[in-house]
Chain A
Amino acid sequence: MRPTQAIEAGFIDPVDDANAVFRQVLDALAHPGRIVEIARPTRVPRGSLGRAAIGVAMALADFETPVWLDEAAAPAASHLRFHCNCPIVSKPDQATFLLAAEPASVPALATLPLGSDTYPDQGATLVIEVQALDPDGSLSLEGPGIDGRARLGVAGLPAGFWEARRALAALFPRGIDLLLTRGDLLVAVPRTSTVRGS
């Protein structure tokens, strides 16, 4: 297979579409647990990443942000390299963005870049394509951006994922930001949110 064949057309209007996706991701991060629909990128390369995950990468990744892809998402590598100019790294601890099409392949959260107390922004952003997102599930979110408490259901994450995330809370402001996607849908769980349940 020619490596360039996995490249698909990107945003129709690169500037407006990237801006729109950026704005949607910003909204999602400002309202943890709220499911937003991201429908801007027109084509998605083969692999199991949906439009929301690819859109996030295309809007946010550039030559300064190394991207890690799990095995299931690997076919998207040349697409992302072409459109974002981003380096694709094989070691998760070197990445700024981690895209996982298969939730079980997500590396142990504590091994990912968490930033430092001086530069917490250097913590990684983890994008996981999950099996289902439900606005009324068993998880309960609290924290900045949430009026009281928000409910969220996520299907497909490996057992122990939320415990591992809770273990990082003590390191705040260090940590990782989570973007969970399912097709065109995206929900953000930034490090400021406290998640109860599993």
Chain B
Amino acid sequence: MSRQISDLSGKIDQRRFWMATLAKAAPADLEQAWSDLGLQPAFTRLRPAETGLVMVRGRISGSGQPFNLGEMTMTRAAVRIENGPTGFGHVAGRNARHAELAALFDALLQDPERHAALMAGVIRPLATRAADEKTRKASEVAATKVDFFTLVRGED
């Protein structure tokens, strides 16, 4: 990345991107990436992983009145690397280890010395993998697409 992102909104977007990637990654992939890193940072569990419900809200067509779609289970965790930044992990489901790993990666990614290597070595591959999986599913679903044609009935 040649462009220096200095403004706050850019930083927020960036962090949002890696947190989303970590949250949506398969727990097994994260576990693998974690052991491949070979890091054993000392850390404090500020908030041990805990599971709860969050209300998912939606808007019809993205612009209508907001409505409550329903509750979903999620797990969150917060850790602090010894003498370092605090990381947060919020994942869907009840996998406590997934939330903790996401929080650990989030903390490490905020460390300027480790950021670039982790983005290239962990986050980009995970994001690519997620995008590939999405494309594969989309093409699978596209094959079963049915187009409905409505005949004009000539009501006037």
Contact = CB atoms under 8 A, between A and B. Distances in A.
B85 interface: yes
Given A2-B85, A4-B86, A9 B46 contact: yes
Interface of B: 44-48, 50, 78, 80, 85-86
Interface in A128-157: none
B50 A10 contact: no
Nearest to A5: B86
B45 A14 contact: no
A114 interface: no
Contacts of B46: 7-10, 82
Interface in A1-50: 2, 4-5, 7-10, 14
B47 A10 contact: yes
Nearest to A8: B46
Contacts of A9: 44-46
A7 B84 CA distance: 12
Interface residues of A, number: 10
Given A2-B85, A4-B86, A7-B86, A14 B50 contact: yes
Most chain A beta-carbon neighbours within 10 Å: one of B46, B48, B78, B86: B46
Interface of A: 2, 4-5, 7-10, 14, 82-83
Given A4-B85, A14-B50, 6 more contacts: A2-B85, A4-B86, A7-B78, A9-B44, A10-B46, A82-B78
Contact of B80 (A7, A10, A14): A7
A56 B151 CA distance: 70
A100 to B, nearest CB: 25
Most chain B beta-carbon neighbours within 10 Å: one of A2, A9, A10, A83: A9
| 10 closest Cβ pairs, A-B complex | A4-B86, A9-B46, A9-B44, A7-B46, A9-B45, A7-B86, A10-B47, A2-B85, A82-B46, A8-B46
8 contacts: A2-B86, A4-B85, A5-B86, A7-B78, A7-B80, A7-B86, A10-B46, A82-B78
A116 to B, nearest CB: 33
Nearest to B50: A14
Nearest to A83: B47
B148 to A, nearest CB: 47
Nearest to B110: A2
A8 B80 CA distance: 9
